[in-house]
Amino acid sequence: MSNPRDTYWSIVWRQFRKNRAAYWAMWALWPLFLVSIFAPVLASDRPFVYYDHGQWLFPWFRDLFHTEEPSDFFYNMALVVFLPWAGAAWWLNRRWRRQGMNRPRRLLRILGLYAALTFAAVVLFAWTPLRPANLYFERQFVSEEFRDPQRWGVYAPIPFGPITIDDKSFYRPPMYKKPPTEWTRANDYFPHLLGTDGGGRDVLVRLIYGTRLATTVGFVAVGLYLTIGVVVGALAGYFGGKVDMLISRLIEVMLVFPAFFLILTLVGFLGQSIYIIMVVIGITGWPTIARLIRGEVLKQRNMEYVLAALSQGAGHTRVLFRHVLPNALSPALVAAPFGIASAIIVEAGLSLLGFGVRPPAPSWGALLREAHGNYEYWWLIVFPSLAVFFTVTLFNLVGNGLRDAMDPRLRR
């Protein structure tokens, strides 16, 4: 039974843990993020270390700072700061535990630190001269004379890149390995575990890198529309009157358009880029959230604590954002995991229709698109489908658990 000292969130957490499927799904999400962050460590055709006639080069590390996709750059920065952060986290955790800080708070702070570090690295390396120069832009290390004993490299466990074209192995089935007579690259000894696509690119590697795209689209788009929806809905619910009428009309108008239809039209017109997809999902998703928040804020604003805060001289901004909103946020939070799942579905669907990110960016939907019309390449359908399915299932499970945990009617 609940303890009177419990905070709302500790109650929710306890409820959430009771739902075993949701709990495990939450843990299973961590590998997804880790794969996203560590994708270059798992798979890359750039050697970690390269020995070239007495010279030691580090092409892999330099390559981290020069990516084609912005989401890749972001994740690479997260990878670069990972080790410093892990050390700092271990030290800070020990220190804070001695000071008697409780666990959720420590966890939150440490995760916040990671986000801040990543952000700092992105700013630092994207827009300042500190970014390591792209020295080996022209070089293809794998295809340099690999039988030369004076040249060798240490490669990632899967030595293939996500967008490097190999014109000798188009559409090869899983476990395909080039016959030794055809070897021209240093990584040709390695089998394509899940086959290759129409550009001779390894499907497994593209799936791994596709995780980055999917999670980016999911989180950024949902973050965007949660922010818009919460702010707009809160304004409507709190101030009422004309503001409410205007915003309610706007919400109604936006809800009248079928979401996927609108997204498709906008993306078709505005162009193919990950930014545009995220923004478009963002601007089409906010009305549902705004409506939920508006209802909740309407309920809260007539409560006595609001009156108490106002009578103590607190301004409307403070009352709304410090007192009312935290109490009205739960429906929006419940919607978040489902929203991420559906954003991932939408992104893959857009790519399948050819309106997604521009090829050769590795997206799960792009693989499906390649397979549409070439159904004999079953591995291009089965594996991306599984990836989409598992990711979506995990987010849906977490969402289910969160919904049940936050619903007071189900509390036991």
Shortest spacing between CB 364 and other proteins, in angstroms: 9
103 lies in the site for other proteins, by CB under 8 A = no
Q: Are 196 and 166 in contact (CB under 8 A)?
A: yes
Q: Are 191 and 176 in contact (CB under 8 A)?
A: yes
**Beta carbon nearer to other proteins, 229 or 365:** 365
Among the listed residues 145, 376, 408, 412, the single contact to other proteins using CB under 8 A: 376
Q: Are 301 and 258 in contact (CB under 8 A)?
A: no
Among the listed residues 82, 345, 358, 411, the single contact to other proteins using CB under 8 A: 345
92 lies in the site for other proteins, by CB under 8 A = no
Q: Which two tokens stand for residue 240?
A: 């009422």
378 lies in the site for other proteins, by CB under 8 A = yes
**Beta carbon nearer to other proteins, 143 or 385:** 385
Site residues for other proteins, window 350-369 (CB under 8 A)? Answer: 352-355, 368
**Beta carbon nearer to other proteins, 154 or 255:** 255
**Beta carbon nearer to other proteins, 148 or 252:** 252
Site residues for other proteins, window 239-268 (CB under 8 A)? Answer: 249-250, 252-258, 260-262, 264-266, 268
Site residues for other proteins, window 285-324 (CB under 8 A)? Answer: none
Shortest spacing between CB 20 and other proteins, in angstroms: 12
91 lies in the site for other proteins, by CB under 8 A = no
d(CA 89, CA 166): 42
**Beta carbon nearer to other proteins, 122 or 279:** 279
**Beta carbon nearer to other proteins, 126 or 345:** 345
28 lies in the site for other proteins, by CB under 8 A = no
State how far the alpha carbon of 215 is from the alpha carbons of 37, 44, 201, 274, in Å: 11, 20, 21, 12
Residue among 257, 261, 224, 268 at smallest CA distance from 356:
268
SS (H, E, C) 346-399: HHHHHHHHCCCCCCCCCCHHHHHHHHCCCCCCCHHHHHHHHHHHHHHHHHHHHH
Q: Which two tokens stand for residue 66?
A: 């020069």
d(CA 393, CA 293): 26
Shortest spacing between CB 381 and other proteins, in angstroms: 5
Among the listed residues 8, 9, 27, 269, the single contact to other proteins using CB under 8 A: 269
Determine if the peptide bond prior to 326 is cis (ω within 30°). no
Radius of gyration of the chain (CA): 25
d(CA 281, CA 229): 13
Shortest spacing between CB 191 and other proteins, in angstroms: 23
d(CA 225, CA 220): 9
Shortest spacing between CB 411 and other proteins, in angstroms: 15
What mask of x and - would describe binding to other proteins in positions 383 to 402, judged by CB under 8 A?
--x--xx--xx--xx--x--
Q: Which two tokens stand for residue 294?
A: 């508006």
Beta-carbon contacts of residue 119 (< 8 Å; ≥ 6 apart): none
Q: Which residues bind other proteins (CB under 8 A)?
A: 249-250, 252-258, 260-262, 264-266, 268-271, 341, 345, 348-349, 352-355, 368, 371-372, 375-376, 378, 381-382, 385, 388-389, 392-393, 396-397, 400
